[in-house]
């Protein structure tokens, strides 16, 4: 971003963003190796001394058998078959106070209605000369306990409806996103996601983050990621996608700098690691893997749809909190 005609506050924010990217972003080679092992791909240099002759001995080839893949797939299947049944509970002081007021009003109205019905029944029995057993205090106490125990507030009903909708919504796609998170946990021991408002602020988006491109400055005094100091998320977008996503936020100088970037390249040798569900096509220099998260090793230059001699170029875009 061009640092021209900006205030001191904006300059400080940009400096903090640049510092976070510089200090937190690094190549997660261990995670890349873990994903490659899961998909049956090993480091070609690891057994190079056995596969090549070097003038001594007999060259051979070493087959890679992913033993861990079957174990992870079984565990993933066990997790997926376990139903998720979230329940809403209200904990903040104001909501609890309002719920208590609603409950008290509901119980009082219900007891008053029961007493009114009993009074009418008693009067009808007296007029008709029939005997009637009066309502005992114990029965009223039991009714009050039953009403208080079974009462569900409007807050909890509304919250539960939102949770049920979120789990069933096709736009949120909770079931598949859960599968991705579980696979990330089993393969790398880490999983990251974000819940953000939709573009029209009418829904929420559940976004599963790539562990290879997510960098967290954790708080050593807390086990929760929400207490972390900083976070950087690295994304890879084409020039057009950057313009569509962030064009309304960029200044003229930034738009000019973006316009000067080359959207295509004749070379497809640069490699990055992305998820295959984004429908990126690998060049001849890489190979798509099968599996739940197959195709991590994808070229950063995507073949052009109609002219295979050109490639879309991907540029890193960082989100910093």
Burial class (CB in 10 A: 0-12, 13-18, 19+), 212: buried
Per-residue model confidence as pLDDT tens for the chain (321 residues): 555 567 888 889 999 999 999 999 998 888 888 888 888 777 777 777 777 765 566 666 777 777 888 899 899 888 888 888 887 777 777 777 777 777 777 777 777 777 777 777 777 666 666 655 555 566 667 666 776 666 777 777 788 888 888 888 888 888 888 988 999 999 989 999 998 888 777 888 889 999 999 999 999 999 888 899 999 999 988 888 888 888 888 888 888 888 888 777 665 555 666 665 433 333 333 444 444 444 444 444 444 444 455 677 888 899 999
Question: Which tokens belong to 47?
Answer: 């057994």
The region, left, alpha or beta by phi > 0 then psi within -120 to 50, assigned to residue 19 is: alpha
Q: Which of 73, 5, 3 is nearest to 39 (CA)?
A: 73
What angle in degrees, to the nearest 10, is found between the helix axes of 252-259 and 239-246?
Answer: 160
Domains of the chain, residue spans: 8-87+160-320, 93-152
Could you tell me the pTM of the whole model? 0.67
Give the orientation angle of helix 93-128 with respect to helix 137-150, to 10 degrees: 140
Residue 179 in 3-state DSSP? helix
């Amino acid at each position: 971003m061009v640092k021209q005609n900006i205030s001191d506050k904006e300059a400080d924010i940009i400096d903090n963003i640049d510092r976070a990217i510089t200090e937190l972003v690094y190549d997660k080679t261990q995670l890349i190796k873990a994903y490659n092992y899961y998909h049956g791909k090993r480091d070609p240099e690891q057994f190079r001394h056995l596969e090549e002759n070097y003038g001594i001995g007999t060259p051979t080839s070493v087959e890679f058998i992913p033993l861990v893949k079957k174990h992870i797939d079984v565990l993933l299947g066990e997790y997926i078959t376990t139903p998720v049944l979230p329940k809403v509970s209200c904990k903040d002081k104001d909501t609890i106070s309002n719920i208590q007021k609603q409950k008290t009003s509901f119980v009082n109205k219900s007891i008053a209605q029961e007493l009114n019905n009993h009074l009418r029944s008693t009067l009808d029995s007296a007029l008709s000369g029939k005997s009637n057993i009066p309502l005992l205090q114990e029965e009223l106490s039991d009714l009050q306990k039953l009403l208080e125990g079974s009462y569900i507030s409007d807050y909890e009903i509304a919250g539960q409806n939102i949770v049920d909708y979120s789990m069933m919504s096709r736009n949120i796609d909770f079931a598949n996103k859960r599968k991705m998170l579980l696979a990330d946990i089993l393969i790398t021991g880490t999983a990251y996601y974000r819940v953000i408002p939709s573009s029209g602020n009418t829904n929420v988006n559940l976004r599963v983050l790539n562990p290879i491109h997510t960098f967290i400055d954790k708080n050593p005094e807390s086990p929760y990621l929400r207490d972390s100091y900083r976070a950087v998320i690295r994304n890879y977008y084409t020039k057009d996608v950057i313009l569509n996503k962030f064009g309304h936020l960029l200044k003229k100088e930034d738009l000019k700098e973006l316009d000067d970037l080359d959207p295509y390249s004749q070379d497809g040798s640069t490699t990055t690691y992305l998820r295959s569900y984004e429908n990126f096509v690998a060049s001849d220099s890489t190979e798509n893997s099968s599996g739940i998260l197959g195709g991590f090793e994808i070229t950063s230059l995507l073949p052009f749809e109609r002219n295979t001699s050109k490639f879309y170029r991907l540029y890193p875009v960082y989100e910093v909190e």
